Amino acid sequence: MSHHCGRYESLTNRREFLKKAGAGFGLLGLADLLQGDTLSGSDGEPARGLDPMTLRQPHYPAKAKSIIWLFMEGAPSSVDLFDPKPELTKRDGQRITIDVFNGNPGPLMKSPFSFKQYGQSGAWVCEKYPNVARHVDDFAFIKSLYSESNDHVPALYQINTGIPRPGFPSAGAWITYGLGSESQNLPGYVVLGNNQGVKGGPLNWSAGFLPTSYQGTLFRSSGAPILNLTRPEHVTRDDQRAQLDFLKKVNTEHLKEHEGEPDLLARIQSFELAYRMQMEASDLTDFSTESRETLALYGLDQEVSKNIGTKCLMARRLIERGVRFVQVYSDGEWDAHSDLKGNHSHHCASTDMPIHGLLTDLKRRGLMDSTLVIWGGEFGRMPVSQGNGGRDHNPNGFMAWMTGAGVKGGVSYGETDEIGYKAVTDRVSVHDLHATMLHLLGMNHEKLTYFHNGRRYRLTDVAGEVIEKLLV
């Protein structure tokens, strides 16, 4: 009996130590094998701590410390949501010469929705987003985005990694590489994916050629956040700890011959992080501590918005726990090649209350002052019709909005032409968007680099300018 009590006390103390210290025994065992407590990178690269997610100083004081990216996969239509074009209504049914993705373009098509102006800023919002519209005075609209591809997968890669080809680090990976994470018991970069699967898959949140510690971790919004996270019933915690300690010993011997090897360090860290997550992550989907009012605020009491509301609520809980970057994908696709009215009506209904709930909750909890929220898709949609009342892909001109820490509210930047086809005024590239995002986190996009294959890479490649007019 006393033997079991001793084991229990030891286990309890060990659990408390792991949770408070934020570093597993496997990592502690490596300390004497490394030169000091940091791994110095090349010039311009952040110094690597023993734990890859150790907090690192930004280049200059940051406005934001975390990001929630609300990703509307499939490409919502700017002219049907936030950027109405009177010329489209005037010229509805008129045919023009235009290049489209799928061929056989129809005539110009007016929006099927009505619009109203909201807030002191007088921003236009369509009838299907009444709750999101309540926040327009906090938004900085970017209405002149453009990208390079009119196909979903390369466009997704570009908006996520800056490059319309697979194999490059995602924005979340660059950010956690540059800054680390305040949470040592959860990943620094979490993805709450589309329930139908994201086009292009995990390459959208890959670490690319960065150490694998910085890749995004896909969480589920119900049940266990990560599959196979729970310890098997027949394995005791002491047995599991013993297995990890043995792996630590083997990996430590291997590391003696490969000192500072990032992928080996990442593997050791992943074992220990998974162990710590058993204590921390299991309650992320347990909303029993949330009030009924909060659940309704996020739309969890309505079937149409329950799934997205759950992910938005999880996003708030994740950044509260110190996660650096959370990407929330909407479910299904805004890819309205036909029946845009039905498609966008559904997706607005599924995201309107959750987004309103998230923004409201962040404000009242004092988290908006340290959180940057971004809304947008991978490209936009054409001003002409396609099929039965749909619109084709349009990378030439689309929009996003930002709100939160460091963002000037109630402003709009850039314009597309009079029918919403091409960005023509103050055009904004994906690199500009990324440069602005990094700037708000206190990072100079030209200095956040990684040496790979004979050259120094960065998220913004060889371009990108901060959009100063959107910042306070």
Report if residue 279 sits inside a domain.
Answer: no
**Boundaries of domain holding 258:** 2-33+234-274
Contact criterion met (CB below 8 Å) for 403 and 390: no
H helical segments located in 236-302: 237-257, 262-280, 292-297
457 sits in which H/E element: strand 455-457
pLDDT, residue 102, reads 79
pLDDT, residue 127, reads 98
Buried/exposed code over 254-276 (b: 16+ C-beta within 10 A; e: otherwise): ebeeeeeebebbbbbbbbbbbbb
Same domain, 162 and 217: yes
Same domain, 316 and 243: no
The residues that bridge with 373 in the sheet, in sequence order, are 68, 403
Report the largest interatomic distance among the alpha carbons of the chain, rounded to a whole angstrom. Answer: 87
Same domain, 119 and 251: no
Contact criterion met (CB below 8 Å) for 319 and 371: yes
DSSP state of 262: H
Report if residue 347 sits inside a domain.
Answer: yes
CA atoms within 13 A on the CB side of 101: 23
**57's tokens:** 């100083």
Same domain, 398 and 257: no
C-alpha closest to that of 308 among 344, 371, 358, 368: 358
Same domain, 328 and 386: yes
pLDDT, residue 286, reads 84
Report if residue 219 sits inside a domain.
Answer: yes
Contact criterion met (CB below 8 Å) for 62 and 55: no
CB atoms within 10 A of CB 95: 11
Same domain, 370 and 407: yes
Return d(Cα 330, Cα 129) in angstroms, integer.
Answer: 15
pLDDT, residue 254, reads 64
Show Cβ contacts of residue 144 under 8 Å, excluding neighbours closer than 6 positions: 397, 399, 413, 414, 415, 416, 423, 424, 425, 426, 427, 428
Report if residue 93 sits inside a domain.
Answer: yes
**Cα-Cα-Cα-Cα dihedral sign, residues 466, 167, 179, 402:** positive
CB atoms within 10 A of CB 222: 12
Contact criterion met (CB below 8 Å) for 379 and 61: no
Contact criterion met (CB below 8 Å) for 222 and 282: no
Tell me, what amino acid is at 369? D
Contact criterion met (CB below 8 Å) for 378 and 156: yes
- The CA-to-CA distance between both ends of the chain, in Å, stands at 64
C-alpha closest to that of 290 among 322, 312, 308: 312
**The domain that contains 404 carries what CATH number?**
3.40.720.10
C-alpha closest to that of 172 among 118, 132, 119, 217: 217
Tell me, what amino acid is at 114? S
Return d(Cα 188, Cα 176) in angstroms, integer.
Answer: 6
Return d(Cα 347, Cα 329) in angstroms, integer.
Answer: 12
**227's tokens:** 């599959």
Same domain, 193 and 251: no
pLDDT, residue 238, reads 65
Contact criterion met (CB below 8 Å) for 280 and 321: yes
pLDDT, residue 22, reads 41
pLDDT, residue 173, reads 98
Report if residue 331 sits inside a domain.
Answer: yes
pLDDT, residue 35, reads 31
Report if residue 52 sits inside a domain.
Answer: no
**Mean pLDDT per segment of 10 residues, for the chain of length 472 residues?**
45 48 38 32 50 88 97 98 98 93 90 98 98 98 97 98 98 97 90 95 97 91 58 61 64 64 62 57 82 98 97 97 97 97 98 98 98 98 95 98 98 98 98 98 98 96 97 96
Instruction: Name the 3-class secondary structure at 472.
Output: coil
pLDDT, residue 29, reads 34
Same domain, 327 and 361: yes
Return d(Cα 239, Cα 30) in angstroms, integer.
Answer: 22
Same domain, 19 and 99: no
Indicate the residue among 216, 245, 274 that finishes a domain: 274
Instruction: Name the 3-class secondary structure at 157.
Output: helix
pLDDT, residue 298, reads 98
CB atoms within 10 A of CB 7: 13
Q: How many domains does the chain have?
A: 2
pLDDT, residue 19, reads 44
Same domain, 351 and 439: yes
Report if residue 43 sits inside a domain.
Answer: no
Same domain, 119 and 19: no
Report if residue 48 sits inside a domain.
Answer: no
Same domain, 296 and 425: yes
